[in-house]
Amino acid sequence: METQVSPNERGYYGSFGGAFIPEMMQANIAELQEKYEEIMNAPEFRAEFEQLLKDYVGRPTPLYKATRLSKKYNSNIYLKREDLNHTGAHKINNSLGQIILAKKLGKKKIIAETGAGQHGVATATACALMGIECVVFMGELDVDRQAPNVGRMKMLGAEVIPVSSGSKTLKDATNEAMRYWIANPFDTHYIIGSVVGPHPYPDMVAKFQSVISKEIKKQLKEETGSELPDRVIACVGGGSNATGAFYHFLEDEEVELVAAEAAGKGLDSGFTAAATFKGVSGILHGSKTLFMQTEDGQVEEPHSISAGLDYPGIGPALAHWFESGRVKYEAVTDDHAMKAGMELCKLEGIIPAVESAHALAALDNLDLKPDEIIVVNLSGRGDKDLKTYLDQLES
Ligand SMILES: *Cc1c(COP(=O)(O)O)cnc(C)c1O
C-alpha cells in the first residue's frame, strides 16, 4: 500500500479519516475545509506564524547530541528539544497556527479541550497573546489531577469548564467542546490539540507541527553532512508530535520511523492505551481511525501513567501509516517509561515529560546497529510530572 502524507479531497488517508460530524457542525467544518489551505499558504499568514515561532516560542529548538545517552546505546542519539518551547511542549506550535487562522476567519472566541492541561495552557497562552476570549473544557477528574495547569489557564485569563459527564476525562471534555461549538457556530473556533478530529483538523495540525522535522533535516545536515538519520522516534497520544517529527521524512524510505505507544500496565492488563496493538477501526471524534473498543463498539477507557498519552485512539494518518507499514509501532509500559525518564535526568541533566520518556524507552526495544544516527523527539519537559516522578522514587 502506498503511503500518503496528505489526505485526499475527502480527508482520507488510505481507509482512515473523513469527517463524520453531526449536521449542526457541518457549516463550521465546511468553512474550514474550504479555506484552511488558502489561508495557511498566504504569505502574510506564513510571515506572522514564522515570526511568532521564532520570537515568542523560541524556535528553532536545538537538536542536541546526547553524548552520555549515546554511549550507553553505542550510537549517536540526538534529542529534538521541543521541551524548550515556550509553555514546555510542542503544543504551542499548533495553538499559535490555529489562532492566527481563527483571526483570519473573523472568529471572536476560542474553545479547546484538554486532558493533562498542556494543550489548554498553550491555547490560553495564544489567546492571551492575541486578546481573544478562551474557554477550555476539562474533565472533572483531570481538573483535580492537574491543578497547577488549571491555575495557569486561569492566570492567563481563560475560563475552565469542568466536565462531569462520562469518565470525566479527555474524551468527555472533547464531546463537551463539540457540543458547545454546535450551539455557538458563528463566532467561535475550536482549536483541537492533536492530529485527530474531522477533516481538515488532522492535516491542519500536521502542517503546523511539521516545523519539527523541517528543522531536524536542516540541523542534521549541518551537524552530520546528511539530512537523513537512520531512525526517528516519537511518542504517540493522538499523534501530533510524532507527525511533526516524521512529516518531512515520510517519503525518505531509508529512514525508519518509530512510534512509541503507551502500553500502560501491560498490553493484556486491561489498563492500556496502545491503540494500534489493541484498537480496531471505528468512528471516534469525527474521523474513522483505530481506537480501543468494548465488544459492543463503545469507546474503551484508556490507561497510561502519562495524561498526554491517556487517549483511546490515534489520529487517522497514524492509523494509515500503521496500515501501510511506513511507521513501526512499539509499546512501552508505565514502569519502563518512568525508568527511561529517570535515566535521562541522571545521564543528561534533562527532566523529560513522562510522555516523551516513552519515546526514550523505545530505544531498548530496537535492535540498534553500532553508530547509527537516531533522533528522539523530546516532546515536552517534565516539570508538570514531578509528583509522578517523586511518587516513583519513593516506592
Ligand atoms: C500532549 C502531549 C503529548 C501527546 O500528544 P500528541 O498529539 O501525541 O503529541 C506528548 N508529549 C507531550 C509533552 C504532550 O504535552
pLDDT in tens, the chain (395 residues): 899 999 999 999 999 999 999 998 999 999 999 999 999 999 999 999 999 999 999 999 999 999 999 999 999 999 999 999 999 999 999 999 999 999 999 999 999 999 989 999 999 999 999 999 999 999 998 898 788 999 999 999 999 999 999 888 888 899 999 999 999 988 999 999 999 999 999 999 999 999 999 999 999 999 999 999 999 999 999 999 999 999 999 999 999 999 999 999 999 999 999 999 999 999 999 999 999 999 999 999 999 999 899 899 999 999 999 999 999 999 999 999 999 999 999 999 999 999 999 999 999 999 999 989 999 999 999 999 999 999 988 87
What's the farthest any 2 CA atoms get from each other in the chain?
A: 57
Q: Residue 133: what residue type?
A: E
Neighbours of 283 (CB within 10 A): 13
**91 among known catalytic residues:** yes
Neighbours of 386 (CB within 10 A): 11
CB of residue 236 inside a 6 A radius of ligand 1:
yes
Separation CA 87–CA 172 (nearest Å): 24
Q: Residue 138: what residue type?
A: M
Mutate to test the pocket of ligand 1, among 309, 344, 384 (most ligand atoms within 8 A of CB): 309
* Assessment of whether the complete model's pTM goes beyond 0.85: yes
Separation CA 280–CA 227 (nearest Å): 36
Residue with cell 495524561: 307
Please name each of the domains of the chain with its CATH number.
Answer: 20-52+91-205 (3.40.50.1100), 58-88+210-394 (3.40.50.1100)
Q: Is 29 exposed, middle or buried (0-12, 13-18, 19+ CB in 10 A)?
A: buried
**379 among known catalytic residues:** yes
Catalytic residue among 70, 80, 91, 213: 91
Cα 56 from chain centre: 20
Query: Residue 168: which residues within 8 A CB-CB, separation 6 or more?
Result: 139, 140, 141, 142
Mutate to test the pocket of ligand 1, among 311, 355, 388 (most ligand atoms within 8 A of CB): 355
**159 among known catalytic residues:** no
CB of residue 380 inside a 6 A radius of ligand 1:
yes
Catalytic residue among 75, 95, 107, 113: 113
Q: What is the 3-state secondary structure (H, E, C) of the chain?
A: CCCCCCCCCCCEECCEECCCCCHHHHHHHHHHHHHHHHHHHCHHHHHHHHHHHHHHHCCCCCEEECHHHHHHHCCEEEEEEHHHCCCCECHHHHHHHHHHHHHHCCCCEEEEEECCCHHHHHHHHHHHHHCCEEEEEEEHHHHHHCHHHHHHHHHCCCEEEEECCCCCCHHHHHHHHHHHHHHCCCCEEEECCCCCCCCCHHHHHHHHHCHHHHHHHHHHHHHHCCCCCCEEEEEECCCHHHHHHHHHHCCCCCCEEEEEEEEECCCCCCCCCCHHHHCEEEEECCEEEEECECCCCCECCCCCCCHHHCCCECCHHHHHHHHCCCEEEEEEEHHHHHHHHHHHHHHHCCCECHHHHHHHHHHHHCCCCCCCEEEEEECEECHHHHHHHHHHHHC
Rounded distance from Cα 308 to ligand 1 centre (Å): 5
Separation CA 338–CA 319 (nearest Å): 26
Q: Is 388 left (phi over 0), alpha (psi -120 to 50) or beta?
A: alpha
Return the C-alpha torsion angle 196, 197, 199, 202, nearest 10: -20
